[in-house]
Structure 1
Amino acid sequence: MAITASMVKELREMTGAGMMDCKKALNETNGDMDAAIEYLRKNGQAKAEKKAGRIAAEGIVMAEVRDDKTAAIVEVNSETDFVAKNAEFQGFVKAVVNQALATDSADLDAFMAEAWNEDASKTVKDALTEKISVIGENLSIRRFEKVVSEGCAVSYIHGGGRIGVIVDAETDVVNDEIRTCLKNVAMQVAAMSPKYVSREEVSQDYLEHEKEILLAQAKLENPNKPDNIIEKMIIGRLNKELKEICLLDQVYVQDGDLTVEKYVEKVAKENGATVTVKRFVRFETGEGIEKKQEDFAAEVAAQMGK
């Protein structure tokens, strides 16, 4: 399969690896993007496993919580940052959040088809179309999530709507101290972007896959070490990775002597409560969306001698 400059560009953005390493990986895997990512990781050339596509779209994330129990978070995109800061646009996003708080829809298609709360004669899609006409720029309701808590839900918005988080916890006490604790946990989620609440959520398939990657890396770096030593190295590296991707295992950013789990336990004990973080939702504006860029593919092609 012919390897194009745009394929190299895409792989480079996804992995952070060097351009020629990306070209080699694609050649070795006959242009299979997923296999090329695996190739780079096994050979230690991928700097980080990045999201597919650049975080480039504009817009805002907004969240709302009512009575500690019902929470909603939405992402609405615009073409420009100028519109994202516009009061008309932000008012519309606020209305979308209110819609999400009241919705029974399970997916975006159903949400867009339901009656608009501010005018039942139109749908959510109709309201969006009208707002596009008023603002004069393409807008998109990209996603929403509603959380109904049996304990306490809190929200946190970072960077004026760049990142939004909802944290849902099971707790037998709901007071200002517990709410503040959960808000701090939401800030942790915003800053550190965990994948899971705890290790119990991590699938065996994921663990086996990561072990395979770590084994390839360890053998490449330590070709003369015996297998039993390599095995210990893998266990250590996997535990380190789990501490990074599991929220409760992460070092608490506001107190490096505690994990997030120990911080929650500490606040719970001080308030005579039992608090268990059940889930979180994290939206980052534009993650995974790539808007028009400069012709970087042409630049890559020139450097590759094509």
Structure 2
Amino acid sequence: MTEISAAMVKALRERTGAGMMDCKKALVETGGDMEAAIDWLRGKGLAAAARKAGRTAAEGLVGVAVAGRRGAIIEVNSETDFVAKNAQFQAFVRGALDVALATGSDVEAILGSPMPGSAATVAEALAHNVATIGENQALRRAAVLEVGEGVIGAYVHNAVAEGLGRIGVLVAVESAADPRALAETAKQLALHIAWANPLALEPEGIDPALLARERAVAEAKAEGSGKGEEIVRRMVEGAVRKFASEQALLTQAFLGDNKTRVADVVGRAAKELGAAMAVRGFVRFQLGEGIEKPETDFAAEVAAAAGQA
């Protein structure tokens, strides 16, 4: 008897959108034959989306929700932006968001959890959506932020409904200040993060690989300046420091006036509210970032379709 591995189950789920347990059962029933398992699931009405699973899903929605001192953000992708306006799709995103708030940022844990108000898991509800809406969909990523004392600020850009849009931000602000007053500062910080897209909280947190890349660019520029070795070294170090400062949240120029550093804005707010304040972390999801969309030739597609008719 063929041993059914977790990797086989995961691969089948990714190809069909069916639930993990259904995938395992299908593989057991078919002796581990992947294609036969797909057909088994289709025969049970559990893999109607199998033919759609290879399509690029780079549209959809980013969802953001805050409950008390805890916030969650998820990205659920679809093939077209039209689906983002679909009430069924939006309801799924909200449900998955509630699960993320309760379970955390692990996507597999979210998919395996019960969907609120349903006997199905999140993965099964997603597979049902794919089958009924008619587009490939995927829960791509999730993140959760929490503070022991303070607030979680949230913002959604290009919102299509409350808490759902194309860019979502969470920011954790720790402080003993009055939460209602603190919330306004947190909201302004979330707006800034959406606009400025910082890469880290502080310059020290910037990815070393990015700094190395900037250093190489700066060295190439400085070497062509004709200046002495010591001056070139200073030019390079200055350029790298400037890059890190511009890419880190606390050292960026604040959106409100484009002059004051974010750290100084936080410090000023702390003084006004009469309590120490610190930004402990942030998350920014932009819909489809990092997903490579295949280039398509629409005219060629039409001609090919006409030739097949």
Q: TM-score, normalised by structure 2?
A: 0.71
Report whether the alignment pairs 1:217 with 2:216.
no
Question: Aligned equivalents of 1:83 and 1:143: distance in 2?
Answer: 18
Match of 2:166 among 158, 162, 165: 162
Return the offset for 1:205.
6.5
Question: 2:48 matched to which residue of 1?
Answer: none
Report whether the alignment pairs 1:145 with 2:149.
no
Q: Note if contact 2:58-2:288 (Cα within 8 Å) is conserved in structure 1.
A: yes
Question: 1:196 matched to which residue of 2?
Answer: 200
Question: Aligned equivalents of 1:93 and 1:284: distance in 2?
Answer: 15
Return the offset for 1:239.
2.0
Report whether the alignment pairs 1:93 with 2:97.
no
Return the offset for 1:203.
6.0
Q: Deviations over 1:58-105 (max 9, x none)?
A: 1110100011x111001011111111112221121111111111115x
Q: Note if contact 1:56-1:290 (Cα within 8 Å) is conserved in structure 2.
A: no
Return the offset for 1:241.
0.5
Return the offset for 1:144.
0.9
Question: Aligned equivalents of 2:194 and 2:258: distance in 1?
Answer: 17
- Partner of 2:90, secondary structure, is helix
Question: 1:262 matched to which residue of 2?
Answer: 264
Return the offset for 1:149.
1.6
Q: Which shows bigger deviation, 237-246 or 208-217? A: 208-217
Question: Aligned equivalents of 2:283 and 2:178: distance in 1?
Answer: 20
Question: Aligned equivalents of 1:123 and 1:79: distance in 2?
Answer: 22
Q: Which shows bigger deviation, 196-205 or 126-135? A: 196-205
Question: 2:80 matched to which residue of 1?
Answer: 80
Question: 1:103 matched to which residue of 2?
Answer: 103
Structure with higher RCO (Cα < 8 A, 6+ apart) = 1
Question: 1:302 matched to which residue of 2?
Answer: none
Q: Note if contact 1:167-1:280 (Cα within 8 Å) is conserved in structure 2.
A: yes
Q: Which amino acid aligns with 2:128?
A: E
Structure 1 residues 205 and 132: CA distance shift in structure 2, 3 A: closer
Aligned residues: 238
Question: 2:129 matched to which residue of 1?
Answer: 131
Q: Note if contact 1:56-1:287 (Cα within 8 Å) is conserved in structure 2.
A: no
Q: Deviations over 1:210-269 (max 9, x none)?
A: 4344223321x31x2111110111122112101211001111111233111111111110
Structure 1 residues 188 and 136: CA distance shift in structure 2, 3 A: same
Q: Which amino acid aligns with 2:202?
A: S
Question: Aligned equivalents of 1:245 and 1:200: distance in 2?
Answer: 11
Question: Aligned equivalents of 1:273 and 1:125: distance in 2?
Answer: 44
CA RMSD of aligned residues (A): 2.2
Question: 1:1-306 alignment to 2 at 5 Å?
Answer: 57-67=58-68, 69-104=69-104, 107-119=106-118, 121-151=119-149, 152-160=151-159, 161-202=165-206, 207=211, 210-219=214-223, 221-222=224-225, 224-295=226-297
Q: Which amino acid aligns with 1:159?
A: N
Q: Note if contact 2:153-2:189 (Cα within 8 Å) is conserved in structure 1.
A: no
Return the offset for 1:169.
1.7
Q: Which amino acid aligns with 1:250?
A: Q
- Partner of 2:120, secondary structure, is strand
Question: Aligned equivalents of 1:90 and 1:216: distance in 2?
Answer: 49
Question: Aligned equivalents of 1:193 and 1:204: distance in 2?
Answer: 18
Q: Which amino acid aligns with 1:237?
A: A
